[in-house]
Chains A and B, each alone.
Chain A
Amino acid sequence: MTSLVQGLVAAVLKRPWRATAFVRQLLRPVPDAAPVTLTQRRIYVLPTRSGLTFAFLLMLMLLGSINYGNSMGFVLTFLLASLALVSILHTWRNLARLTVRAGHSEPVFAGQHARIEVCLDNALGLARYAIGLRAAGVAGDVVDVPPHAGACPGVAVPAHTRGRMAVPSFTLATTFPLGLFRAWTHLDLAMHCLVYPQPSADTRPLPASPDDQGTGSQRGEGQEDFAGLRTWRAGESLRQVAWKAVAREQGMLAKQFAGEAQQAVWLDWHGLAGLDSEARLSRLTRWVLDADAAGVRYGLRLPACTLPPGTGEVQRRRCLEALAMFEP
């Protein structure tokens, strides 16, 4: 406590230019893990620039009323001043008792913008309007939250480096209904977003699979000679589903092709000697995407782990996650 006071005094008296930084440090929210319900203590209200302009206008009107001894001028000036005061309550109430929880955030590639979603739940019969989300200096969606309903505004935050990106603390703010005051809350829900490595730009072909030299990549795709049906496993490419069998209500079956088991491409970290590790990850990311697009069975070999060959959405995600979280 003493150090806090000392810090404040020092900040304000000795280094006023650092006071704002210090105050910001003080106001930085403590991370909350669970959903947060906005109570009185979490909501701040201050006048906006429009509010200050309005106050200036009211001063002019008051001077005019005094000078002309105009009673209705006084009535109007005081009515507008009271209107501004009352609007504080409405602005504050527009945020109060909303429950805020972390929303869904899709993984992105480094260099892209990650869309962070925050979900607002309104458990009360009071409609909320024009609540804006803001994070890392970027303004996001402005949403209305109907009574007994929810809304999930999002904001696009730039993702620079791969890995688990900690979503910075964010602000929920509203100036509804009159724009004279701004009520806001500053929250940190300890949210994270997965950032995949940036795929390298050059289009080098996929490495050839070590066990099928000479047969050509045509065979490698493994979709030439139809061999029969087997049970479809979750995560496999939908292209392999035998839709005719599904239509005959035989269940989800996958088409089995001759030579499928051995036709797999290995995307190997060790095969990329001469590049630094980030460049290797970038190249591997590109190959994962290319292989997935081509429908090729592929596996990923990294120094710490090996992902067996496979296809489909799940394989793609597993590989990209492994690349994102790679620690040399």
Chain B
Amino acid sequence: MNRLVWLLASLALAIAPHLAHLPVWVGPLCVGLGIWRVAVERGITPWPRKALVVALTLGCTAGILFEYRTLLGRDAGVTLLVTMIALKLMEMRTPRDTLVTVFLAYFLVSAGFLYSQSIPMALYLLGVVWLTTTTMIGYHDPNGGLAARLRLKLAGTLLLQAVPLMLVLFVLFPRIPPIWALPEDAHAGLTGLSDSMRPGEISQLIQSSEVAFRVQFDRAPPPASARYWRGPVLWDYDGQTWSARTPAAGTAPPVQPRGEPVRYLLTLEPHNQRWLFALDLPAAAPADSRIQADMQMLAHAPVRQRMRYRLTSYPDSRLDDPLDAATRQRALALPARANPRTRALAERWRAEEADGTRIVERALRLFREQSFFYTLNPPRLGAHAMDDFLFGSRRGFCEHYASAFVTLMRAAGLPARVVTGYQGGAPNPLGDYWIVRQSDAHAWSEVWLDGRGWVRVDPTAAVSPDRVEQGIAAALPAAELPLALSRLDLGWLQAARMRWDLVNNRWNQWVLGYGQEGQRSLLAGLHPWLARWEGMITALASGIALLLAGLAAWSLRHGLRRDRDPALAAYHRFCTRLARRGLARAAHEGPQDYAARVLRARPDLAPAVMAITRDYIDLRYGRTPGQLARLRRAVRDFRP
């Protein structure tokens, strides 16, 4: 019974983190079956019939199929595993069945890491491993000789002794690329920019304080007004959504080195998309990626693992290759008949102004001088979204301003495009690196001006200069700030947050980011031979052999040679003290005879000697457990 409770507790704790992403009926099912099993164990109900268990199993499988349309993949697989473990409780009769269930608890823990590998989750799941190991020990202690506390202690000892071996395996076990293709849902739930921009999408994203990427600058970082991290470039507008239906034609023009280069190392969090982020304008793409004609950087495969790359950017460089006709046409296209008032306004500007620079200035003046507001909660816009925004609500977030500006420019005959990415970032003073979060997501525009090429224009800066100079938290009204960005500037809280990010960063880089690349570079740094297969295998085998031999020697010395009974040890201290006074205990003397002889020689010691002898005899030979603490205290205070 006691063992069953431990098993159920381990299973419950292993299942708990999964409940959030399992179908709602799974939790109650598990609890119900758990209670049923306890009732069976107590003899309240008989074992369920085989037919009932089979029916339940089929029902669960049908439920999973209904929910996911498949039994494969991460989510469906975990659901199947959880329900099958719960059902296994109903027919778990032999010790072997039980052990298989315990093993499945370990398996569930490993499945938990597919959803989160954060430090708190890792600690929690390792706790579950500890508990499960304790449960396993309980099933191999048929006489119940080990109290729960001792079982926990033994499981802890086993796990602690396993840690050095685990580290050797972790560092040296050769990492290889995935063996078969992953199911599609393997990387679901990652946040980040998408390949299109609809009003309200970026304002959703900035609610998240998740880290998008971290940057280490080699030298001084560029000023805030230059920290535009370029992401997807959007060309095509259908009146509501900006997107890039086809990649930009042509190849990237070589970036002319101009001004001071900025060199940096960027660690990108996985976002399950192909684009990489770079400070405007990157000189060359990192390995396994390329730069498109619109200077968007694309990896060959979606970024599903944390990725590090080193880049050099020239913030002062320009994109001034001449536009070809097709690109110009694409950069001028607008949905026919949409937004007539916006078009009329732009055409009036075109008639009045001589060159593009003045048109851009008029547009920015419009945003600056009319009562436009920068807000996270803009009103909904109608069919003519830009007309509604420019002449009606005048309240919007960066995507509204970028969208309206590009529409105006195109209507005025200037090629323009929307660029999304991140703007800003905050330094971590403890770690000498910068953090760019999802809340730094931003959208801006680029306009083609004759003689200058593509020029970045950020209309949001015209409305809210603080957004660019001081970041999102300074630009929004306090009431609108999402919790993650809350401006409560508690010094210690900020410091704690930075410290936590530093720890997370190290965790990401050294633990979670330790893959094929990391392994090769770390081992090659130690010795080139180690980075080769035979080197890794040899080092792995000898490392394990050495550690096991060391552990064997230690456990022999510690467990088999030394006397570890604390009562005996205390009593020996007592005898040693008396021996120094010339009253050594003879080999043939039992504790009582010895005490009697001591008392004849030193009647003054009677109370202490009698108390120590009595407690010692109780502890070593008595049926009732004596008081070890009292014996130890008495020996400590014993001064003959």
Instruction: Give me the interface of A with B, judged by CB distance under 8 Å.
Output: 49-50, 53-54, 57, 60-61, 63-83, 85-87, 89-90, 93, 96-97, 124-127, 129-130, 142-144, 147-148, 175-179
| Contact B133–A142 (Cβ < 8 Å) | no
| B173 interface residue per 8 A CB criterion | yes
CA distance A83 to B155 in the complex (A): 9
CB distance from B518 to the nearest CB of A (A): 9
A-B contact pairs, 6 of them (CB 8 A): A57-B107, A63-B179, A72-B125, A78-B166, A90-B158, A93-B559
CB distance from B508 to the nearest CB of A (A): 9
List 11 extra interface pairs beyond A65-B110, A79-B162, A126-B560, CB under 8 A. Answer: A53-B99, A68-B182, A71-B512, A73-B113, A76-B110, A80-B129, A82-B163, A82-B164, A82-B169, A125-B568, A143-B143
Q: Which residues of B contact A89 (CB under 8 A)?
A: 548, 551-552, 555
**A97-B560, A125-B564 given as contacts; is B113 within 8 A of A130 (CB)?**
no
CB distance from A302 to the nearest CB of B (A): 46
CB distance from A221 to the nearest CB of B (A): 46
CA distance A70 to B109 in the complex (A): 13
The digit string for B509-530, where 1 denotes a CB below 8 A from any CB of A, is: 0011111000000000000000
Interface centre among A60, A78, A97, A176 (most CB of B within 10 A): A78
Q: Which residues of B contact A50 (CB under 8 A)?
A: 96, 99
User: Which among A75, A78, A126 is the interface contact of B564 at CB below 8 angstroms?
Assistant: A126
| Contact B154–A177 (Cβ < 8 Å) | yes
Instruction: Give me the interface of B with A, judged by CB distance under 8 Å.
Output: 96, 99-100, 103, 106-107, 109-110, 113-114, 117, 122, 125-126, 129, 133, 136-137, 139-143, 145-146, 154, 158-159, 161-166, 169-170, 173, 175-176, 178-180, 182, 186, 304-305, 511-515, 544, 548, 551-552, 555-556, 559-565, 568
CB distance from B239 to the nearest CB of A (A): 41
CA distance A179 to B133 in the complex (A): 11
Residue on B nearest A87 in the bound complex, by CB: B158
**A61-B107, A68-B182, A71-B513 given as contacts; is B113 within 8 A of A76 (CB)?**
yes
| Contact B106–A80 (Cβ < 8 Å) | yes
Q: Which residues of A contact B548 (CB under 8 A)?
A: 85, 89
| Contact A67–B182 (Cβ < 8 Å) | yes
Residue on B nearest A174 in the bound complex, by CB: B140
| Contact A130–B158 (Cβ < 8 Å) | no
| Contact A179–B110 (Cβ < 8 Å) | no
CA distance A68 to B511 in the complex (A): 15
| Contact A83–B159 (Cβ < 8 Å) | yes
CA distance A125 to B562 in the complex (A): 7
User: Which among B145, B161, B512, B555 is the interface contact of A129 at CB below 8 angstroms?
Assistant: B145
| Contact A178–B565 (Cβ < 8 Å) | no
**A72-B113, A142-B142 given as contacts; is B165 within 8 A of A82 (CB)?**
yes
CB distance from B586 to the nearest CB of A (A): 20
Residue on B nearest A125 in the bound complex, by CB: B564
Residue on A nearest B136 in the bound complex, by CB: A178
Q: Which residues of B contact A54 (CB under 8 A)?
A: 103
| Contact A82–B109 (Cβ < 8 Å) | no
CB distance from B176 to the nearest CB of A (A): 6
| Contact B99–A86 (Cβ < 8 Å) | no
CA distance A99 to B154 in the complex (A): 24
Ranked 10 nearest A-B pairs via Cβ: A82-B165, A82-B162, A78-B169, A144-B145, A125-B564, A72-B113, A83-B162, A79-B166, A78-B166, A72-B117
**A129-B145, A176-B141 given as contacts; is B559 within 8 A of A124 (CB)?**
yes
Q: Which residues of B contact A66 (CB under 8 A)?
A: 175-176, 178-179
CB distance from A37 to the nearest CB of B (A): 11
User: Which among B117, B163, B560 is the interface contact of A71 at CB below 8 angstroms?
Assistant: B117
| Contact A85–B162 (Cβ < 8 Å) | yes
Interface centre among A64, A65, A68, A148 (most CB of B within 10 A): A68
| Contact A71–B515 (Cβ < 8 Å) | yes
CA distance A175 to B165 in the complex (A): 22
CA distance A159 to B142 in the complex (A): 28
**A76-B110, A125-B563, A129-B141 given as contacts; is B165 within 8 A of A85 (CB)?**
yes
| Contact B158–A179 (Cβ < 8 Å) | no
**A82-B162, A125-B562 given as contacts; is B103 within 8 A of A57 (CB)?**
yes
CB distance from A328 to the nearest CB of B (A): 47
CB distance from A144 to the nearest CB of B (A): 4
**A68-B114, A130-B142 given as contacts; is B158 within 8 A of A177 (CB)?**
yes
CA distance A143 to B146 in the complex (A): 12
